[in-house]
A and B are shown apart, each in its own frame.
Chain A
Amino acid sequence: MAERKPIDGVTIEKTEKLIAETLANFPEKARKKRAPHVGANEPSASPCAVKSNRKVVPGVMSQRGCAYAGAKGVVWGPIRDMLHISHGPIGCGVYSWGTRRNMMQGIPGITSFPLDFTSDFQERDIVYGGDERLATLLREANELFPLNKGMSILSECPVGLIGDDINQVAKKVSKELDKLVVPCNCEGFRGVSQSLGHHISNDSIRDHIIGKFEFEEEAGPYDVALIGDYNIGGDVWAAKPILEEIGLNVKSIWTGDGEVEKIGATHSVKLNLIHCYRSMNYMCKVMEERWSIPWLEYNFFGPTKIEESLRAIAERFDDKIKANVEKVIEKYRPVAQAVIDEYKPRLDGKTAMLFVGGLRPRHTVGAYEDLGVQITGTGYEFAHQDDYDRTAPEMAKGTIIYDDVSEFELERYVEEMKPDLVGSGIKEKYVFQKSGIPFRQMHSWDYSGPYHGYEGFEVFARDIDMAINSPTWKLVKSPF
């Protein structure tokens, strides 16, 4: 890959100075902890020097969530035909109810379950344990929601602390009801971020779901699975049709708008296509080891990356698919070009800074660049080293890379780098908008979407233009 062109005014020296000045405000111990997590980008550096996946420094105002959030919100929640039970006190389930925008088909409460199921722990459960109530709860849930295809038990903090054995309960009730019941020990205190919740959930899928089902129909040469697309704002519905158009059969989706039995039958596909590497690479590796299913990372943000990805996918198949891919690229190029022609004139030369979860800080860079927007800083809430290694080459030299950035730091980095847009999460949004800086939520697509695929690119372009060029920003400065 060709190295990015340097960005005007962005140099390694300036960025390092900014980082040093910012971290100088931290007490010594915290400064030492934070320093390895921020750096000026060296595109050719491998491994990337920025460290990651370590504990949050207490008190700095991290934007991270917890293992439960990674399990419930990210991996399990989008599986539409299961009941996902927030096992523990009331809050976790309430706060994560409907707040990720993983859209799903089905009749809510009948065949799909975007509801909040919880055991609403009381003090007596802490004292006497919640296992017995959990067993009752599972039976009640199965009776009231008979079309569920299974239940996941997602542990909140107290469950692991009081020594409950949800695995035993799950096993017993699963047998009794002849139903899939999956225990997931994703207590929020485990690990350092959402990331461990993804991993624990992948392990639960490995132990309880994958290989337990098979498709009615024969396996075909073009069977693939879509891994790590959570259908935020309908992303899956914009991505899957492209794969179908090039002649592939998308047999299952992990986990956006997902169906658990199809997920459990994924071991029959020929190739796993993975979008969010961070949250789902574990299962790709398991399927590779156990069933020799290869996997391929792809990127459906913006036409440049879509074309690159489609051609890489084609390489794994025969001439028929290769020819289809070229046809599809040709068909959509004018569509994408029309979007670029409309929006690039208004966005060319603008800059943006990103801070998102585990994928988008690198995967969306190409889509911004398609519109002429350069990324001057990026970073992740819960990425690992392999994510940063994949990020460095996507960013220009000297741009700032920050891991698990605190609010204090991000404010100062943005203040100094003066981007035209910040793309990050809900907690960060209004901090920057109060400063008159346009902002888009990049976890939830700011109640918009889809952003994947050709259809998504048009929505993305419209949203970025709307954010940066809205006439409302001109009114911030008062005449008196």
Chain B
Amino acid sequence: MTECAVKKVTEHSPERVAEVLEWTKSAEYQEINFARKSLVVNPAHACQPLGAQMVAHGFEGSLPFVHGSQGCASYFRSTFTRHFREPSSATCDAMTEDGAVFGGQNNIFEGLENAYALYKPKMIPVYTSCMPEVIGDDLNAYIKNAKDKDLIPADLPTPFANTPSFKGSHVNGYDSMLRSILQNLTAGKKVEGSDNGKLNIIPGFDGNIANLREYKRILDLFEIPYTMLADITEVFDSGCHGKYNMYPGGTLLEDAADSINAKATVAMQSYSTTTCMKWIGEEYVGSSDVVDFPIGIEKTDAFILKLSELFDKPVPEELKQERARAIDAITDGHQYIHGRKFGVFGDPDYLLGIVSWLLEMGARPKHIICSRTTKKFKKQMQALLDSSSYGDGCTVYMNKDLWHLRSLLMTDPVDGIIGDTHGKWAARDAKIPLFRIGFPILDRVNLHRSPVVGYQGTINILTMIANKFLDIKDETCEDKWFEMMR
């Protein structure tokens, strides 16, 4: 504005507002919207340290520790707490301006000493937010120095991961922290020449606790002994017993240490475990496999067959029956979803799972948005779409956001949107129902207690989506079309 000029307070005329509102729904607007190069509006991903913290919560007596500004830790804790409605106990060394000048060593020293003294953790995983990454702090040296100074016991596991927020997303932070913890805990534990007969299972970045419980239930049915790595089941879904327990669960450190001797390791997601699984493949005694995130029948079948093959066990009768019930449910209910068009957004592994399920239901994925990913994902998704005629006419958008999605929903509408809570603005603007699958879910209760993976998850998603469509029909149809049965 021109210096010193005082302007009058103005109001937009209702006509101008209406005109702009309509314009934002147009193809012309979409073109300008898709041409932007710098501005991101309503992204559907978070930063690396959030993912690192999820992993850091998933071990026995583990106290996640942010090396960086105080506010970062509070944001991560709030995000998990809002989603799970559970405590998220994590600490931070609260770097301030002087850290920019002197580095963060003193903060790490004080932080580790105090955190250990007060919260008596069995492990302190350290991960970074922006500040130390920009100034180039040497985590390895700082933590070693803290032990040399006897601020924390020399034998306290203190794995650390560099998780810069300006690279990748939360799924990469998950990957780096998990690799670091496993490298730390398994060091020197490898027994050559034999395995312990167990399976390691890695859930990946997943805000749905019931998914983790579902994997465990399936493994129990197979009677396969297992260790779930980064097991947040009890941490983020603990009971109310009238007494607060800061460390309610997590993978036992002993089991994590012995994971290097497992017969096999299976990761349930690929993009959140890439470097970790590569390292496991190189270092662990047993086999290592990444299965597709098991949403829908085909992906669940593949997971079940993989377990059967790895442990040379027949598929348990109960799972066979369960599969048959799920098939019964989808052949009964597919008609409410067949041909319906969907917009889907979220993390890469979730997207692949959801789209696979949509295709097998005869639904039509239309717009797929991943707001931070790689070309590899785009290729993989395209191959999945190409595998079915129901994938025709679908477009995969890489590194696009939910304001792009809004345009797509306006110019090329769909029947349903699948993604996390952040999609609710676009959904409301376009008057299209949002089915909340993913992370975070900040506005509905208990969805993280209902699995979306496995045969049971397939039934759950179908129930959620089909019944919502039926609700909409009942609520909006003219009287003459209102009827008893649907």
Contacts and interface: CB of A to CB of B under 8 A. Distances in A.
B425 interface: yes
Interface stretch (B5-13, B188-196, B350-358, B386-394): B5-13
B465 to A, nearest CB: 24
Interface in A144-189: 144, 146-147, 149, 156-158, 160-162, 174-175, 178-180, 188-189
Interface string B361-403: 0000000000010000000000000000000000000000001
Contacts of A118: 40-41, 43
B97 A434 contact: no
Nearest to B108: A58
B17 A107 contact: yes
Contacts of B119: 61, 408
A144 B32 contact: yes
B378 to A, nearest CB: 18
Contacts of A107: 17, 21
Contacts of A406: 118
Contacts of B20: 110, 146-147
A175 B360 CA distance: 55
Given A133-B38, A140-B36, A90 B87 contact: no
A429 interface: yes
A180 B5 CA distance: 12
B75 to A, nearest CB: 4
A317 interface: no
Interface string A212-230: 1111100000000000000
Contact of A89 (B113, B117, B166): B166
B9 A477 contact: no
A58 B118 contact: no
A63 B75 contact: no
A109 interface: yes
B244 A411 contact: yes
Interface in B120-173: 129-131, 134-135, 164-167, 169
Contacts of B42: 97, 115-116
Contacts, number: 301
B166 A59 contact: no
Given A90-B43, A90-B169, A116-B43, A434 B238 contact: yes
A111 B65 CA distance: 41
A380 to B, nearest CB: 15
B477 to A, nearest CB: 28
B46 interface: yes
B231 interface: no
Contacts of A174: 1
B87 A192 contact: no
Contact of A25 (B38, B77, B117, B428): B117
B82 interface: yes
B240 A99 contact: no
A290 to B, nearest CB: 14
Nearest to B113: A27
Interface stretch (A122-130, A270-278, A355-363): A122-130
A55 B95 CA distance: 9
Contact of A407 (B47, B79, B89): B89
Interface stretch (B66-74, B255-263, B314-322, B335-343): B66-74
A141 B32 CA distance: 11
B75 A91 contact: yes
Contact of B75 (A95, A115, A192): A95
Interface in A431-452: 431-436
A211 B5 CA distance: 10
B58 to A, nearest CB: 18
Nearest to B29: A144
Interface in B86-113: 86-97, 99-100, 107-108, 110-113
Interface residues of B, number: 96
A466 interface: no
B39 A119 contact: yes
A69 interface: yes
B429 interface: yes
B38 A134 contact: yes
Nearest to A428: B87
A476 B9 CA distance: 56
Contact of B1 (A121, A123, A180, A259): A180
Contacts of A30: 110, 113-114, 117
A157 B49 CA distance: 14
B40 A59 contact: no
B74 A69 contact: yes
Contact of A125 (B78, B166, B245, B406): B166
Interface in A456-480: 476-478
A137 B39 contact: yes
B41 A158 contact: no
- Most A CB contacts (10 A, CB to CB) among B39, B85, B166 go to B39
Nearest to B74: A65
B181 interface: no
Contacts of B90: 61
A332 interface: no
Contacts of A147: 12, 16-17, 20
A408 B246 CA distance: 10
Interface string A391-418: 0000000000000001110010000000
B6 A117 contact: no
Contacts of A63: 74
B248 to A, nearest CB: 9
B49 A189 contact: no
Nearest to A93: B43
B71 to A, nearest CB: 3
Contacts of B130: 88-89, 156-158, 161
A120 B240 contact: no
A247 interface: no
Given A115-B42, A119-B40, A191 B94 contact: no
Contacts of B38: 119, 133-134, 136-137, 140
Contacts of A134: 38
Contact of B117 (A27, A160, A189): A27
B288 to A, nearest CB: 29
A91 B50 contact: yes
A212 B75 CA distance: 35
B422 interface: yes
A82 B239 CA distance: 43
Given A89-B165, A90-B165, A144 B134 contact: no
Contacts of B6: 211-214
A420 interface: no
Given A126-B134, A435-B242, A144 B33 contact: yes
A150 B486 CA distance: 51
A184 to B, nearest CB: 15
Nearest to A476: B242
A189 B99 contact: yes
A430 B81 contact: yes
A110 B24 contact: yes
Contacts of A56: 70, 92, 94
Contacts of A192: 96
A158 B43 contact: no
B283 to A, nearest CB: 28
B241 interface: yes
Going nearest first, the 8 A-B pairs with the smallest beta carbon separation are A66-B71, A91-B47, A59-B114, A59-B111, A58-B111, A95-B75, A59-B115, A89-B165
18 contacts: A25-B117, A27-B114, A58-B111, A64-B94, A90-B165, A90-B169, A92-B75, A107-B17, A109-B24, A114-B425, A115-B42, A120-B40, A121-B165, A133-B38, A212-B6, A215-B8, A434-B87, A434-B243
Given A30-B114, A58-B108, A431-B89, 12 more contacts: A57-B94, A67-B71, A89-B47, A91-B50, A111-B17, A118-B41, A144-B33, A157-B129, A180-B1, A261-B10, A429-B81, A433-B240
